[in-house]
Structure 1
Amino acid sequence: MNSTASKPRTVRCPACGGPSLYAAQNPYRPFCSERCKNLDFGAWASESYRVPARPDSAGAEDPDTPPVH
């Protein structure tokens, strides 16, 4: 068995880029602070983060949409 305690890891905060303790002692992990966590949450809530999507192909049909005649 390993009797030595592992050293807590420090990672880069995704919001500000500063050091952030990645351990149970940091309730905001992977963020460094409550402020950085809330800024990130606000960006998601306001839909500032978007996943790029390709436009529909010309021949593709939506099965839920009735055909137009």
Structure 2
Amino acid sequence: MELQIEIPELPHGHGGSFKRGISDGMFGNALDEQGQPNGHERSYRLGYERGEMMRAAVANMVRE
């Protein structure tokens, strides 16, 4: 099995917010934009969306 995602270009220093979004999205945690540093909400949301896509893709792979 192979899983691929597209990682957008992020502003310098936003990688942690993006990775946190991926983690929250993969594990179904509530969207927590307010818990991000000021101005990082977009990077977090982009990560969260990718995490949700990854969760769905893995679920489909496991069902097959």
TM-score by length of 1: 0.26
> More strand by proportion, 1 or 2?
1
If you compute each CA radius of gyration, which structure gives the higher value, 1 or 2?
1
